[in-house]
């Protein structure tokens, strides 16, 4: 019989990148087979953009309400019903200081555990470092999605390097969606919106493209991040619309305050002439947006955040310094103007390995190895 998997993470209809990742991995890893399930993390302030999250979601076998104390006990019990536990880790989704309440879950699990790290900080605070090192000690395997993250984890943290496996972030299949013809060049940024996205630098770059004919259209698609909305309201989005007006590009920007379903997202990505990732972060080792753009064959102009440097340096995009609208404008101009450049930029070697079926197959192989490693230990504990 195929192995069963217990997934611990946020999960749709929660609207965040982690939930989307977890749902895609669960879909492709289980391939419709019965027996696997999701233990969903749900914060009390997560409204999912107005969607009632208390209703049952596909595959969900238990909901861990992270605003209630002691919820880890039932979460661990639920995960122990499966052959393998696959746990997504990101700062801010688990209770406790630095998300420390994930630790008793890990210690209570009797099945092999794969922990997927979405963030590996270069300069964590002492508690963040301690929690991540204890996660590494308790897990049977730790997955990073880039080699940059693997090197960072093995260099800056006391984690057994033999436990670390690099499996890339998966991407959907967008190429079956036809390209749309349009009258004006189309630039695109999407994802949950909040400070650090760097949209202000892309707007300034857009203003420097005033001699490009016809003028490009720049779409900024995505809801404001729920935690940003809770703490700051829509101040960041409002500041961007004001800046667009001040720069004289308001008529060139389309704001799409929605969370896109996969089919809608595919159509939007395939309509773009370039994806612009103007992120401020110098820490970001994983970007699902970047992977989706590359997999869709759309040229990327990105700041030099770690995942972009690793993925784009040899192929499917152009890198620019952080907070440098002049350099960004030059790169966008090149993508739009140079004949044949998009085809050369999107020739990423091994592109099919980024598709979700190939990524899920690597998780399946890792899980099978962990299960096999456990069998001799289990046999040794059975009384003669």
pLDDT at residue 52, rounded to an integer: 41
DSSP 140: S
Name the pairing type of β-strands 113-117 and 141-144. parallel
Q: Name residue 87's beta-bridge partners.
A: 8, 115
Q: Say if CB 317 and CB 308 are below 8 A apart.
A: yes
**The pair of three-digit structure tokens given for residue 244, joined into one six-digit string:** 């667009």
**The pair of three-digit structure tokens given for residue 153, joined into one six-digit string:** 């984890």
Chain mean pLDDT for the chain: 89
> Is the pLDDT assigned to residue 96 strictly greater than 60?
yes
| DSSP assignment string, 330-341 | HHHHHHHHSTTH
> Domain extents for the chain?
5-170+355-381, 186-345
* CATH fold for domain 5-170+355-381: Rossmann fold (3.40.50)
pLDDT tens sequence across 257-313: 988 888 888 899 989 999 999 999 999 999 999 999 888 888 899 999 999 999 887
- Asked if the domains 5-170+355-381 and 186-345 are classified in one and the same CATH topology, the answer is yes
**The pair of three-digit structure tokens given for residue 120, joined into one six-digit string:** 């590996």
- The residue count of the chain comes to 384
- Overall average pLDDT of the 146-160 stretch: 95
Peptide bond into 209 cis (omega under 30): no
Q: Nearest-5° angle of CA 150, CA 155, CA 160?
A: 70
20-34, 173-187, 238-252, 322-336: lowest mean pLDDT where? Answer: 173-187
pLDDT tens sequence across 373-382: 987 655 555 5
Q: Is residue 143 within a helix (H) or strand (E), and if so which, with residue range?
A: strand 141-144
pLDDT at residue 343, rounded to an integer: 56
The CATH architecture that domain 186-345 belongs to is: 3-Layer(aba) Sandwich (3.40)
Residue of 234, 224, 296 whose CA lies nearest to 259: 224
Confidence of residue 46 (pLDDT cuts 50, 70, 90): low
Q: Say if CB 169 and CB 18 are below 8 A apart.
A: no
pLDDT at residue 44, rounded to an integer: 74
- Within 13 Å of residue 302, how many CA atoms lie on the same side as its CB? 29
322 in helix, strand or coil? coil
pLDDT at residue 172, rounded to an integer: 83
Residue whose structure tokens are 């079926």: 357
Alpha-carbon distance 299 to 342, whole Å?
6
| DSSP assignment string, 150-172 | HHHHHHHS---GGGEEE-PPPB-
pTM of the model: 0.87
Q: Say if CB 277 and CB 302 are below 8 A apart.
A: yes
> Is the pLDDT assigned to residue 314 strictly greater than 80?
no
């Amino acid at each position: 019989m195929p192995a069963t998997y217990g997934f611990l993470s946020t999960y749709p209809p929660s609207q965040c990148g982690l939930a989307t990742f977890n749902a895609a991995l669960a879909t492709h890893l289980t391939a419709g087979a019965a027996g696997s399930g999701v233990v969903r993390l749900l914060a009390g302030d997560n409204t999912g953009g107005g969607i009632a999250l208390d209703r049952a979601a596909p595959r969900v076998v238990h909901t861990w309400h992270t605003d209630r104390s002691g919820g880890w006990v039932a979460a661990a019990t639920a995960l122990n019903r499966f052959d393998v536990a696959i746990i997504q880790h990101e700062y801010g989704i688990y209770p406790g200081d630095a998300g420390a309440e994930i630790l008793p879950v890990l210690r209570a699990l009797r099945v092999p555990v794969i922990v997927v790290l979405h963030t590996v900080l270069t300069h964590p605070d002492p508690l963040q470092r301690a929690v991540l090192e204890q996660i590494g000690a308790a897990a049977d395997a730790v997955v990073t999605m880039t080699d940059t993250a693997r090197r960072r984890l093995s260099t800056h943290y006391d984690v057994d390097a033999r436990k670390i496996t690099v499996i890339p972030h998966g991407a959907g299949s967008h190429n079956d969606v036809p390209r749309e013809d349009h009258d004006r060049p189309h630039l695109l940024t999407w994802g949950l919106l909040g400070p650090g996205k760097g949209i202000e630098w892309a707007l300034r770059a857009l203003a420097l493209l005033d001699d490009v004919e016809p003028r490009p259209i720049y779409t900024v698609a995505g809801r404001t991040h729920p935690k940003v909305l809770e703490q700051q309201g829509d101040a960041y989005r409002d500041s961007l619309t004001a800046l667009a007006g001040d720069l004289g590009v308001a008529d060139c920007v389309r704001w799409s305050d929605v969370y896109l379903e996969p089919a809608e997202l595919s159509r939007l990505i395939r309509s773009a002439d370039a994806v612009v990732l103007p992120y401020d972060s110098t820490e970001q080792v994983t970007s699902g947006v970047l992977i989706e753009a590359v997999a869709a064959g759309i040229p990327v102009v990105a700041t030099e955040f770690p995942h972009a440097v690793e993925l784009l340096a040899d192929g499917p995009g152009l890198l620019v310094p952080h907070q440098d609208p002049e350099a960004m404008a030059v790169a966008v101009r090149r993508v739009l103007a140079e004949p044949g450049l998009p085809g050369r930029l999107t020739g990423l070697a091994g592109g099919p390995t980024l598709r979700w079926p190939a990524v899920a197959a690597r998780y399946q192989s890792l899980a099978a190895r962990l299960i096999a490693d456990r069998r001799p230990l289990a046999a040794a504990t059975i009384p003669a």
